[in-house]
């Protein structure tokens, strides 16, 4: 005879076991789901006291490289969870180089979506006060992915820069010192193309007309502006200095510009130009040859270019540094007056012991 009470008891125990098993499954499933949720949506970027930072992903970087860069920044809380999300989103097949803005507190899902999108943050590229192509290439390479050698090689290649309308001795005129928004992962070609567009935008119809009116090409304007920039650091004096050189240039008088001698000698530290310096046989020696030198002796500033385009109309043909060493110059209409001013300046140099 079947014991109904025992059967009932067994069923009750079985039911409890099933319930416990179900509960365990639910707990484990919940824990797994919670872990998945944490891996995907919990904060995994901690920038400390900073709210934002930037991640620079080089061209041809791998997923492992990106994770290494994040770890080197010290902002990644959990590497394993990020790797898991990257694998699930197939990030290895969607790696885009560039500069990406990281925000403190973002999760793996947000980070991977950002990096997969390729939507990088542009940067403000700035350059000025550059005298040589080598210096210029170095300044640019410090700000974008392209290295200085690739930039210098391109700008020294006659065939490649010919398409922009420049030669190796005039190419500096193409780069107008300013601040430009660019993408970090630019190579040398993309950078140069971008700068040529900016150059073309700067030399608009109005400026081209002004250059034509004074009898100079844009490159010649930049060449003269580079001399003006070297002559004076005072913006309020540049138009006056430009006027002196334009007076001499239009009347075919040699420019006699000391900065061109320093360029020819390769030494801008010279504070006192001597007669022996004036004997150097170089197309940049404006004491020896009439007209403008072959190209800019440095990158002309915007203020220098504008000073030439809008030079001051006056009757001065000479100027020399003020004996007060205040950064300004004394101007003269005649050589006799200029020689008097020059002697005063030379005496001041002697008193200070400046002989070269």
pLDDT in tens, 139-190: 999 999 999 999 999 999 999 999 999 999 999 999 999 999 999 999 999 9
Which residues are 181's β-sheet partners?
Answer: 124
3-class state of residue 97 by DSSP:
coil
Task: Give the model's pLDDT for residue 351.
Answer: 81
- Give CATH 3.30.1490.480 domain extents, the chain: 52-117
Architecture label for domain 52-117: 2-Layer Sandwich (3.30)
**Do 321 and 345 meet the contact criterion of CB atoms below 8 Å apart?**
yes
Q: How far is it, in rounded angstroms, from Cα 93 to Cα 129?
A: 43
Q: DSSP characters for 248-276?
A: HHHTT-----HHHHHHHHT-TT--S--TT
> How confident is the model at residue 304, as a pLDDT?
98
| Residue 36, pLDDT score | 45
What is the CA angle 133-270-234, rounded to 5? 75
Per-residue pLDDT, 114: 96
CA dist 241 and 318 (Å) reads 9
Q: Under a CB-based contact definition with an 8 Å cutoff, are residues 44 and 76 in contact?
A: yes
Around Cβ 313, how many Cβ atoms within 10 Å? 9
The pLDDT score that the predictor gives to residue 151 is: 98
Residues 175-208: b if buried by 16+ CB within 10 A, e if exposed: bbbeebebbbbbbbeebbebbbebbeeebeeeee
From residue 240, give the alpha-carbon distance in Å to each of 36, 304, 307, 314, 329: 72, 11, 8, 8, 10
Segments of the chain scoring below 70 in pLDDT: 1-41, 355-356
């Amino acid at each position: 005879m079947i014991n109904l009470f025992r059967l009932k008891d067994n069923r009750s125990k079985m039911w409890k076991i099933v319930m416990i098993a179900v509960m365990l499954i639910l707990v484990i499933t919940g824990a797994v789901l919670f872990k998945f949720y944490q891996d995907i949506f919990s904060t995994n970027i901690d920038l400390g006291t900073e709210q934002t930072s930037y991640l620079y992903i080089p061209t041809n970087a791998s997923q492992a490289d990106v994770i290494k860069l994040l770890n080197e920044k010290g902002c990644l809380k959990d590497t394993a969870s990020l790797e898991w999300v990257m694998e699930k989103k197939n990030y290895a097949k969607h790696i885009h180089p560039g500069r990406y803005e990281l925000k403190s507190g973002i999760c793996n899902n947000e980070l991977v979506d950002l990096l997969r999108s390729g939507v990088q943050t542009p940067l403000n590229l700035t350059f000025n006060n550059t005298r040589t192509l080598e210096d210029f290439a170095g300044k640019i390479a410090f700000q974008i992915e392209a290295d200085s050698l690739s930039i210098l090689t391109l700008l020294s290649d006659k065939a490649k820069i010919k398409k922009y309308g420049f030669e190796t001795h005039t190419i500096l005129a193409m780069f107008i010192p300013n601040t430009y928004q660019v993408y970090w992962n630019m190579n040398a070609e993309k950078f140069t193309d971008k700068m040529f567009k900016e150059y073309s935008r700067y030399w608009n119809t109005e400026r081209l007309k002004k250059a034509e009116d004074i009898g100079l090409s844009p490159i010649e304007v930049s060449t003269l502006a580079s001399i003006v920039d070297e002559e004076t650091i005072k913006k309020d004096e540049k138009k006056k200095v430009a006027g002196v050189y334009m007076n001499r240039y239009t009347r075919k008088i040699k420019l006699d510009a000391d900065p061109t001698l320093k360029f020819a000698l390769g030494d801008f530290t010279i504070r006192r130009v001597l007669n022996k310096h004036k004997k150097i046989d170089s197309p940049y020696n404006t004491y020896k040859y009439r007209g403008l030198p072959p190209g800019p002796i440095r990158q002309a500033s915007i203020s220098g270019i504008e000073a030439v385009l809008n030079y001051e109309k006056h009757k001065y043909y000479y100027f020399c540094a003020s004996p007060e060493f205040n950064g300004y110059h004394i101007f003269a209409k005649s050589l006799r007056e200029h020689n008097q001013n020059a002697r005063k300046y030379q005496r001041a140099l002697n008193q200070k012991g400046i002989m070269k």
